[in-house]
């Protein structure tokens, strides 16, 4: 009887123990934020990773994204898509392999909202939140040259996750949404 009681206590106690922490697992509070700021004086690029914009990835797979000259660090873009958890893990593994998953390697500790791009310059602000910590990387480069390889790889992956594609060569950058033909055209007199 006592053996059975001891066995039940051991089994119950083993079920209460916390699972071991896997350092390679995707953090439950993951948030990856990329803001691209483009300075004046350079013609707009067609590649989404070299245009002014913002992309955010959350741990639940939600991806927010927006491109345009009015987008900045304070912009909260709209929903672009939702990734599967496997894809979120792949994104975190990519960030880890590029060195962006280590807070110790972060090179910026100021307020990202105060960062501005100079003339003919691109600024990449990459902010990560995981395991109740927040860190930021800032990369500056001439707009004609583009970012370093690690930054380019990460920002391209974020753009692809948000379904942002490169504009075709024969298409200019969009200025406004097309709402279709004028619904009041048939009310007007001909020639007016």
> For 34, phi and psi rounded to 5 degrees?
-120, 125
* Alpha-helical regions (H) of the chain: 2-16, 85-98, 149-161
CA atoms within 13 A on the CB side of 43: 3
| Residue with the two structure tokens 């922490």 | 21
State percent of the chain over pLDDT 70: 78
Residue 1 lies in a domain: no
Residue 111 lies in a domain: yes
3-class DSSP state of 6: helix
> Which CATH number goes with the domain that contains 109?
3.30.1560
Residue 190 lies in a domain: no
Residue 146 lies in a domain: yes
Residue 15 lies in a domain: no
Average pLDDT value for the chain:
83
Residue 112 lies in a domain: yes
Give the model confidence (pLDDT) of 17-39 as tens digits: 444 455 567 888 899 999 999 98
Alpha-carbon distance of 152 to 172, in angstroms, equals 23
Residue 192 lies in a domain: no
Range of the domain at 53: 23-167
Residue 154 lies in a domain: yes
Give the model confidence (pLDDT) of 136-180 as tens digits: 999 999 988 889 999 999 999 999 999 987 766 665 555 555 566
Give the model confidence (pLDDT) of 116-130 as tens digits: 999 989 999 999 999
Residue 188 has pLDDT above 90, yes or no: no
Number of compact structural domains in the chain: 1
């Amino acid at each position: 009887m006592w053996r059975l009681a001891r066995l039940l206590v051991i089994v119950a106690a083993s079920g209460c123990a916390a699972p071991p922490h896997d350092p390679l697992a995707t953090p439950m509070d993951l948030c990856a934020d990329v803001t691209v700021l483009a300075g004046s004086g350079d013609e707009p690029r067609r590649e989404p990773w070299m245009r002014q914009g913002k992309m955010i990835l959350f741990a639940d797979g939600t991806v927010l994204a927006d491109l345009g000259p009015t987008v900045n660090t304070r912009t909260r873009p709209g929903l672009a898509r939702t990734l599967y958890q496997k894809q979120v893990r792949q994104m975190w593994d990519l960030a880890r392999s590029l060195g962006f998953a280590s807070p110790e390697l972060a090179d910026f500790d100021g307020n990202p909202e105060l960062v501005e791009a100079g003339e003919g310059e691109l600024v990449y602000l990459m902010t990560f939140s995981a395991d109740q910590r927040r860190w930021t990387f800032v990369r500056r480069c001439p707009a004609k040259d583009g970012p370093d390889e690690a930054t380019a790889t990460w920002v391209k992956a974020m753009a692809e996750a948000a379904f942002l594609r490169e504009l075709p060569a024969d298409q200019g950058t969009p200025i406004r949404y097309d709402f279709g033909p004028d619904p009041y055209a048939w009310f007007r007199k001909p020639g007016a």
